[in-house]
């Protein structure tokens, strides 16, 4: 769910491999743009960053 390609993440200048799970959560709380969007909840599951084609398939299925 963390958006490593976000310009906000790139501005931090940190190596993603050196971040713990707690670090990632803290960063997402401080900067919500680091969460992959859209966030969609369907059928009891949560999807992060799904494109329109994937979402359409999920809705039809």
Give me the residues paired with residue 46 across strands. 41
Contacts of 9 (CB under 8 A, 6+ apart): 2, 3, 16, 27, 34
**pLDDT over 90 at 11, yes or no:** yes
CA–CA distance, 5 with 39 (Å, rounded to integer)? 16
**pLDDT over 80 at 38, yes or no:** yes
Confidence of residue 61 (pLDDT cuts 50, 70, 90): low
Phi, psi of 34 (to 5 degrees): -85, -5
Contacts of 58 (CB under 8 A, 6+ apart): 40, 42, 43, 47, 50
């Amino acid at each position: 769910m963390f958006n490593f390609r976000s310009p906000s993440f790139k501005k931090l200048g940190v190596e993603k491999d050196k971040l713990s799970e707690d670090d990632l959560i803290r960063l997402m709380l401080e900067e919500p743009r680091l969460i992959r969007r859209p966030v969609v909840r369907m059928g009891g599951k949560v999807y992060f960053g799904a494109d329109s084609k994937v979402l359409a398939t999920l809705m039809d299925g």
